[in-house]
Structure 1
Amino acid sequence: MSNSYFKKSAYIVLFFVVIMVNAQETKNKKQNTKLIELIAKEKAEINTLYELLNNRKRQEAYKNAHIMLKKIKAKESIVRMDLFFANYFNREAVLDSTLHYANRALKNSSYIINDTLRSNVHATSYNLIGLCNNKRGLMEASKKAHLKGIESVDKYEKSFSYYVNLHGLANVYMKQGDHINALKYFKQCLEYKSEDEIGEIAIGSYINIGTIYGVQKKFESSNLYLKKANQICKDTDNKDCQAITAINIGSNYQDLGDYDQAMKYYKESLIIAKENQLFQTQVYVNEYIGHLLYTQKNYTDSKLYYLNALTLSIKHNFLSNQKDIYMRLKDIAVKEGDYKNAYALIDRYSQTQDSIITLEKDKEINELDIKFKTLQKENEIKDLVFENNNKFLQLKNQEKAIENLNLQKTIEGKKNENSLLRLRESSQNKANQIKLLKKEQQLKDSEIQRQKETRKIIFIGFIIILIPVIALLIVYYQKQKAQILINTKQKEISEQKNKSLLKEQELELIKAQVEGQDKERLRIAQELHDSIGGNLAAIKLQLSNSDFGKEREIKNINNQINDTYNQVRSLSHNMLPKRFNQNKFCDVLEDYQKKLAEVSKLTASFSAYPRKDIDHLNEKIQVEIYTIVQELITNTIKHAYAKKIELQLNLIQNSLNIMFEDDGIGFNTKNNKEGIGFINIKNRINSLKGTINIDSSLSRGSIFNIEIPIS
């Protein structure tokens, strides 16, 4: 009775346990189903952020990401968000933030249960870390990250994560000058055929292979790969790729010596990079343009482009670029003779180099590198062993088949002589077939030989046609070259004619001024003769015939004398330029210089200090200064062949300084014969008790420094 009761109780307990276990399993399944659905939903939402990012809507993607970050619940989604922010900041070239989120994704990857997915997260994170270190110039640290990324996915199938890290590793080798390994791994990257990500990997590989071949002076191969990359860029509307392709094509043209084409592609790349905020691409293209201008000895513009690149490099912490730019700026400073600045730039270069070395001290790097290369070699050896084993098995199978065939023939021979005869007949038939096959082979060989002869004849004919075509092209090229020379000479002759016409116009202007002066002298003479002379004659007659006792006659003579005095005073005022009476002296002088410069196509500069005090100088001094400046400008136009003149008036205490400078051909002050104009200048200066100093030499222009005391 007790045993029966015990069994029933045990069955009841077992029944309830089974029910509870089933209920718990059902609950767990429901929870897992909900979790899977939640992860799938949040994954889809995160994918929309990547779509915005890829469509250049970065700010919208960043804003939506922060909103989404507050709503997500699944821990796996947190890891995905970390990777998204790492990708976003990588594209924005904010390297510190990229490293922060990539390292956080690695730390949080323990939330992911699926081993394959977790390994892909590791590979993606290490790739972003490697790219950041590459941009900062920390090549060994970059190599370490990419090797870890490869190691994390190598035990699984070679997916996109594997190839992006392999591509990053190849890029490091390229920058370190190891072109053999770089080419090897870039070409391995081209084996990746996934339609989803082929653009990104293929573009980078084609561009970098083209770059390496360009460095090796294999321009034909370089352009072939660059054109393939450019086509994919256009198909996928990848602006970064288009900018980098343009840089490399420009570099090839620069190496070939075609600087105009090189500058054209560099400017195209710079425009694309600026419009799409591709900061490191902007740095590289500024460096390339700076180098091109340095090659052309245009050190001023070259320095500007290098400084633009340096500003961006410092802002985004591109240490390797900073180091290269400091060295380039040092070279420019040496060329310009600025050795103090050159020394400071070398010091900056050393500091940057020390920073890079400090950041790159890591023993794991070489170990991982060796491990990766060893793994590559082991895989190659395994492939060879596998092939050899297959061949060995094939040979064994063939030997077994032959043994079985011989054994079968022996058994059949023992059983029946007729079988042996049939076998012999079969052998004879096979021999005949072999003979027929040989004959057919001979016929085929003869046909192949005939085709070779035909191709040879076609090739010779092509060469015969090609030689005259080449000759015609050479003749045409020489003709074009001669035409260009003729056009150049005609242009030079035309320019000489234009210069002659300008000189003639200038001389005509000067003649007109002289004629005007002659007319003015004639008018003054007439005034003196007709007005003043007549008045003086009348006064003389009155004095001769008058009696000084009469007060009325004395008063008349006095009035005539006053009238004559006023006429003389009016005449002296009229001798000044008419505008002196209406405008300020400095304005008149500046206007005269400006108009004469415009007619002669000169660049003129005028300054006066203090302008107000100079405007109130004595009229006699103003007239003399005006005449001196007229003569100086006229001499410059006639003899100096200058492009620029500069006039400065400075009133310091009781002395007026006149500084006149031109950039003309200059003259030898010791052997120069003084003309009438120059003698007039000296006489006028002497009349004012002034001094003149002349600083001039051939091909350096002239400076006239005049000091006039003002009492």
Structure 2
Amino acid sequence: MAGRYLLEEKSFLWSVILLFVWIILPMSNMAKSVDSLELLISSKKLTQKETIEAYKELSEKYSNINLKKAIEFGKRGLRFTLHTKNRTAEAQFYEDLGLAYLKRADYDSAIICLDRAMPIALELQDRTLEGTLHRAYGGVHLYQDDYDRAMERFKKSAKILEEINNDYELCRTYSAIGGLYKMLNNADLALAYYKKAEPIALKTGHQRVSADVYLGLSSIYRKEDKSMDRSIGLIKKAVDIYRLLKNRYGESQSLAVLASTYNYFGQYDKALQAANQSLQLSEKLDFPNLTKTNATIISATSYYIGRYKETIDAALKAIEIDSSDVNLSKHAFIHLSLAHGQLGQMDSMEHYVNLFFSKLQEQNNASNRKAISELEIRYQTERKELKIDSLVKQRRLYIWLGIAAGTLLLATLSFALMRYRLAESRRRLAEEETQRIKREKQLVAVQATLDGEAAERTRLAKDLHDGLGGMLSAVRLNLPQIQVGSAVLESVDVNRFQRALGMLDDSIQELRRVAHHMMPESLLRYGLKVSLTDFCTAIPIVEFHYFGDEIRLPEKLEVMVYRCIHELVNNALKHAQATQINVQLVQEADRLSFTVQDNGSGFDLKTVKEGMGLHNIRQRVEVFEGKLNIYSSKEGTEVHVELELSTNGQDN
């Protein structure tokens, strides 16, 4: 499960980074430096129009350098514009402030600014501004996980910009739509919109927009074509463009995308290098959300390569950053729990697992409260509209009063019934979600326990074999060389000495057997077939049959199968008094199954409670999402386990 979670996490982090690129990166790179612009404003020698342009340019340029200053100059420019009564500039400043707040993840402030800009755009009939505002609204909804409203806004933006033939802004909107379809796992529509955007960007010669398109296309080629060279090449093009434009924020974002893509293809050293470069830039630029994203990427990458202390450091850094992005915090908590589990720090692991599920529950509760609030607002709005409608009808003709009242009553009853059904549905969904979270929590804990157990078995086996085994072997070699002066041992003492040597040989052999079964070297070197053949051959009444391809499986999966068969054979020997045991393993391209059958006494599945051995086997199989079936009668017992390799073989 942990493996699957981390693989899914790669796509999540990649999508989070691209959202910044598609929606809220600044639109251009100005020629003048911010210092010279500030001096020009301070000189008070500029005209009203020049002063407005200077404030707007400062706000846009600082959005790549320092968000606080970008918002500061945006507000100063807005105050100046309000005195000039320049409505177009006023709306543009509100839009710029909304995008800056969106970049800072302050969604409420972003909505307030956009709500003030939209009426002005409609009043002035500024279709370009109206189209870009719809796109900005879509960005806010997207970050609030409201994909339907986000798509609605993006489509409105595209329609307006198509009507007025604004290629530059239309290209950016197409990229945003492609990005949303990519998040919804609709690769065909995502690619279609990226292909719409690409020729427009090339035709208009807007390099910044081209960089957006390259990043979007790279995500499709990465996932659909599995083409690392093609995907990495497009991202590096985007990096070069942002560096050429001296757009440090875009450079940092594209480096983060590069790190996530290297992660996806298992190039972890390169991923760390790119993520650290992006982190240095984001910290220098003082962008908390981007810094938190980079810290989360570094935490995940460090875990993949077994640097668990670095995983913990990076995850703690991500948690410490004040950000409203709950998803990044959840990923940081799961990294911390997994890393502590690998280090054997079980209390810390449990602590961060609990924090992860607490954060998940907090997010779910917030979503539920939001849904209830929206439903209540909708209900109240519709109710007011019905009342107004009934009053209008009452004025026109008194006879319709009864009909209006009946309609209102019927609508009220319908809404009440709908609310009741929705409440019941939410309650059932909440119960199901609670159960699902509980199961996932148990599986995470079991996976961590199994990993710890495997690591401990390996360590003990190595210590027994290399440590105690070596010492006993040294004693065995030195005993025959003992000479006590010229003394001659009696025949009785010689026999005792020989028996002691024999017992020492038996002890060395038994120690090697125990160490071998704790973690068979043949399993690690040669795989399941060889290790199970050795194990079954050592027991006279056990027969082993193997069918299928001799392809190596992931180490965790091989260890799990070996342990289960080992436990089942030992159960048959200890409890069933079996005289014959058959072990069968079948390995196919997408499926693995094994069966342990004995002719022992059997047991009643309805009355006999499963022991610790079967309980442990069932837990191991559940971690890999397998199926376990037990058939038992007086003639013997058969245990059959089946596993799907399409997910388990890769994710675990």
**TM class by smaller structure:** 0.3 to 0.5
TM, length-normalised to structure 2: 0.44
Look at both structures and tell me which one has the larger radius of gyration over its CA atoms: 1
Using structure 1 for the length normalisation, give the TM-score: 0.41
| Higher RCO (CA-CA < 8 Å; seq separation 6+) | 2
